[in-house]
Amino acid sequence: MRLSDCRVVLTGASGGIGLALAEQLCAAGAQVLAISRQADALAELVKRYPQHIRQVSADLRSSAGRHAVVEAARHLGGVNLLINAAGVNRFALLEQIDDEQIDEMLALNVVATLQLTRAMLPMLRSQPHAVVVNVGSTYGSIGYPGYAVYCASKFALRGFSEALRRELADTDVNVLYVAPRATRTGMNSAAAMALNKALNANVDEPQWVASEVMQAVQRNLSELYLGWPEKLFVRLNGMLPSLVDRALRKQLPIIRSFTHTPENPKR
């Protein structure tokens, strides 16, 4: 798929990987419907690419918000690329997270993504070729302490992507699942970034992640796992999970020490 031929619905467009994707899509000549609840975040891009980007303010957790996105896509003349990049994260032990925070993560990371994709499918299937991109995480394949709820949401998104790809195998719609490793975005708290530094974990820039996603779309890939040795850990966790269990158990004291912040009091 050529990026200049893309008509795109992009969720989570106001920051991090989503904002980088919006910029690169516009630069490549795509038509972008950028979905965000933060009106000011995309002002600069709208000024730079007035012919290529339109911001749609919508809460994807509501049926009214999803309906607004579908209607905007119809006015664009239909879309052939849906990028589900909206998401939320919280680095904390499960006992430090309340019910409302669990609901928020699952509602946006999983439920809203499934519901929007379902609503967009008739439009996508009417195209000569279309792609659904679901931005997951390495933590969609490896359960990691301090991210139990986030992992649950990304494991669900990975399973959804695999199942939907198989459902659509005899159509012209491909499903691409993207699994970045730690990325320098506002979604990560100061404690999470400090933990990454303490563990010497690699942290990617969102612009690089977006560039890799764009290449995967053009190559019509079905999966994209980013980062080494994280890709190796994903394979090990699938084949020899006990090895990963032992490695992460050694990290537990360090991980727990970084979860004890004013936002996550010790219980």
Tell me which of 49, 139, 150, 225 is the catalytic residue.
Answer: 150
Establish whether 225 is a catalytic residue: no
Q: Determine contact, residues 213/175, Cβ cutoff 8 Å.
A: no
Q: What's at 264, amino acid-wise?
A: N
Order of strands across the sheet with 173-179? Answer: 53-56, 31-35, 7-11, 81-84, 130-135, 173-179, 223-225
| DSSP annotation string for the chain | --GGG-EEEEESTTSHHHHHHHHHHHHTT-EEEEE-S-TTTTHHHHHH-TTTEEEE---TTSHHHHHHHHHHHHHTT--SEEEE-------S-GGG--HHHHHHHHIIIIIIHHHHHHHHHHHHHTSSSEEEEEE--GGGTS--TT-HHHHHHHHHHHHHHHHHHHHTTTSSEEEEEEE--SB-STTS-HHHHHHHHHTT---B-HHHHHHHHHHHHHHT-SEEE-STTHHHHHHHHHH-HHHHHHHHHHHHHHHHHHH-BTTB---
Which tokens belong to 229?
């040795």
CB-based contact 140:162 (threshold 8 Å): no
Active site residues: 150
